[in-house]
Structures are given as C-alpha cells and as structure tokens.
C-alpha cells in the first residue's frame, strides 16, 4: 500500500517510516507536517492509506480527515501519542471518516515493539478492507444455538451496526429516541477496545436514553442502549443473554455486525428492527438479510448521507433492506415503527 504520514513531530514521522519500510508490500508515499499539507498531498498524490495525527498546528487531524473524505476519500488511520487523552477527538475523527485509531510507537520505550506490531496489524486489516471484493456474498458461519426456550415474548429490540463515520451517525439516530423508548437497543460499532468504554460515556452526553456497557450475560432491556465493552464478537445465546466470543477468529471485523445479527435471529422472541449505518466493507449485510428473511424490519443508511457507502451498499445489493433512508430520518422512522 502507498501510505501517507501526517505528523508535526519529526521523530514520530521517522518512527512510522521505519516501521512501514519493514514490510515490502508497503511504501511511504509522502509525509506532511500538518493537516493542511495532508489535504493538498492527498489531492496531488492520492495514497491508499493515511496515518493521521490529531493535534497539529495549522489544521488538526479531525478537520483534515473531514476535508480529505469530502474531496479525495481514502482510508485514514488515526495515529496519536495520547490515545485515551484524546478520546473526544478520536470520536470526532471517526465520525468524519477515520477507520480506526492506534497509539504512536515510541522508539526506546518498553513495549515499543508491541506498539509497532499493533500498528502493522491495523494497517493489514485496513488493507484487507480496501481489497475485499464488492461482489462476494459469502455468509459468515452463524453461531450455533438451539431454538430459544418458550418464554414470554421479549420486548422490541433495535440493533444497529456501524463502522466508518459511525459515532456521528449513531448520535444523529439516537438523539431522536425519547428517554422512555419502548424498546431495547444494542449497538455494534467497529472500534478498538481502548475506546469502547469511552464511546458509552461520549454517547451518554449526547442522548437522552441511558447508555451502558455490556457485561457478560447481560440481557437487552427496554429503555436502555447497550454498547460492547471489548472488540470480541458479541453474541446472543438461546436464553436471550449476551456473551463475548473470539470465534470466528478469521473474521477481521471486530466486533462483527454479521455475527451479532445472525445470533439474534433465532434467539430473540420479540420484534426486531435492524439498522445498518455508514461503514467500509460488507460487514452486516448478510446479517441484515437474515433478519429480513425472518420477517423483521430492516433499514440501511442512504449513499448521500454515508461517510463511506460500503456496508449499506452491500446490504442493498443483497436486497437485505426494506427501507433505505438518509441518516436524519432513521431515528424518527424507528420510533414510528415502534408505535404500530
């Protein structure tokens, strides 16, 4: 891959360059000292991937991400020295189109090798996302569960899958929900495990419904929004409770929307509304189709309002959607469907 580096620290740029050149399949396309330079270089010499710092002079990483995604869209990985300290900026950048975040490796510090390996791992994952075939319709192996036991009908369940651009899209949808929404909500957002707890905190400041982290064996409850606490796959068991699993290990989407959606099809006795929002790749499309085939209502975000029209497009191509709506209409539509 051709990779652009954006960082105002000469030392950080050199560290990133040294790590990249250890892999013969990658090359450094250019280096920029701030976001404004990066925007210009993306136009002049479009890269496959940009490693974007957050805090820089002239133009920060959030604004640069926003402008690049509007003018010359490409994959963007946030690489910042203070991952947890910049969590609010990370959510803004991911809402603008960044795919993921990783800490900047620092030479000479203990753990530097681990940080370098983590950077290369995420670059590899993004490479797979960029290279995945848009025509593939292979379904992930569903989680094997017996039929759910005879129990009182579960309340309505809203399940939302999102990736690139997800944090901002989620806010737009969830702010339309009243505090007493007569349904349970579970969100699966592709995100590094370092930020899952922070996502719940961030959303709690944006929406009226309470947002909570999912603990092992929790059950979806009416009036509560649940968010996974790790990057392991989220699965619903035949008792209706939620657990985490590392299987399937060959699925590079973490947590996988498909894996979760397919686990709830046979294990939730109530009405389900499945939503697939902006994101790169195809994750969630086959799971949404499974929900539709069981008679549940499915909605995908439209192309015009998606930061990256990958996951919703894949769902549309599979005829997995009953409706395709702009992001600002999805929340109100869900509330209307619950009122039927």
pLDDT at residue number 73: 93
pLDDT at residue number 67: 97
pLDDT at residue number 252: 65
Task: Give the start-to-end residue ranges of the domains of the chain.
Answer: 2-131, 157-338
Asked, colleague to colleague, whether 2-131 and 157-338 share their fold, the answer is: yes
CATH number for region 157-338: 3.40.50.180
Catalytic residue among 190, 233, 254, 296: 190
Cα dist. 173→18, 115, 143, 186, 208 in Å? 42, 35, 28, 13, 12
What is the helix, strand, coil percentage profile of the chain, to 5? 35, 20, 45
Report the relative pairing of strands 225-227 and 75-80 from DSSP bridges.
unpaired
pLDDT at residue number 138: 44
Catalytic residue among 163, 229, 256, 290: 163
| pTM reported for the whole predicted model | 0.84
pLDDT at residue number 132: 40
How many CA atoms does the CB half-sphere of 85 hold within 13 Å? Answer: 7
**What are 14-18's contacts with CB under 8 Å, separation 24+?**
15/104, 15/105, 15/106, 15/107, 16/51, 16/79, 16/104, 16/105, 16/119, 18/107
Catalytic residue among 192, 258, 283, 302: 283
Give catalytic status of residue 283 as yes or no: yes
Residue 155: partners with Cβ closer than 8 Å, 6 or more residues away = 182, 183, 184, 220, 221, 222, 270
| Cβ proximity of 200 and 87 under 8 Å | no
Domain 2-131 CATH assignment equals 3.10.50.40: no
pLDDT at residue number 296: 97
Give catalytic status of residue 163 as yes or no: yes
pLDDT at residue number 224: 98
pLDDT by residue for the chain (340 residues), tens only, comes to 999 999 999 999 999 999 999 999 999 999 999 999 999 999 999 999 999 999 999 999 999 999 999 999 999 999 988 766 777 888 899 889 999 888 888 765 544 578 889 899 899 988 888 774 333 444 444 444 455 556 678 999 999 999 988 999 999 999 999 999 999 999 999 887 777 778 888 899 999 999 999 999 999 999 999 999 887 899 999 999 999 998 876 666 778 999 999 999 989 999 999 999 999 889 999 999 999 999 999 999 999 999 889 999 999 999 999 999 999 999 999 999 998 6
């Amino acid at each position: 891959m051709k990779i652009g580096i954006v960082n105002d620290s000469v030392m950080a740029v050199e560290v990133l360059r040294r790590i990249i050149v250890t892999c013969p399949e990658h090359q450094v396309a250019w280096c920029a000292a701030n976001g404004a330079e990066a925007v210009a270089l993306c136009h002049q010499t479009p890269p496959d991937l940009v490693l974007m710092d957050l805090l820089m002079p002239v133009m920060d990483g959030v604004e640069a991400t926003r402008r690049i995604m509007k003018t010359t869209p490409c994959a963007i990985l946030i690489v910042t020295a203070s991952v947890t300290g910049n969590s609010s900026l990370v959510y803004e950048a991911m809402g603008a189109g960044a795919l993921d975040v990783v800490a900047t490796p620092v030479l000479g510090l203990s753990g530097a090798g681990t940080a370098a390996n983590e950077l290369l791992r995420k670059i590899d994952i993004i490479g797979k996302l960029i290279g995945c075939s848009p025509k593939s319709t292979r379904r992930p192996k569903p989680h094997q569960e017996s039929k759910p036991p005879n129990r009182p009908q579960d309340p309505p369940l809203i399940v939302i899958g999102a990736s690139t651009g997800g944090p901002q899209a989620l806010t737009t949808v969830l702010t339309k929900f009243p505090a007493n929404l007569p349904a349970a909500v579970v969100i699966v957002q592709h995100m590094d495990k370092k930020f899952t707890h922070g996502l719940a905190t961030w959303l709690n400041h944006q929406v009226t419904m309470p947002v909570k982290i999912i603990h092992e064996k929790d059950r979806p409850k009416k009036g509560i929004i649940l968010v996974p606490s790790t990057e392991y796959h989220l699965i619903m068991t035949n008792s209706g409770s939620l657990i985490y699993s590392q299987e399937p290990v060959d699925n590079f989407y973490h947590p996988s929307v498909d894996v979760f959606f397919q686990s709830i099809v046979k294990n939730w006795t109530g009405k389900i509304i499945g939503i697939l929002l902006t994101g790169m790749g195809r994750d969630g499309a086959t799971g949404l189709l499974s929900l539709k085939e069981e008679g549940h209502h499915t909605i995908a975000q439209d192309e015009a309002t998606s930061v990256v029209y990958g996951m919703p497009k894949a769902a549309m191509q599979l005829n997995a959607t009953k409706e395709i709506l702009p992001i600002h209409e999805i929340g109100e539509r869900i509330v209307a469907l619950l009122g039927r």
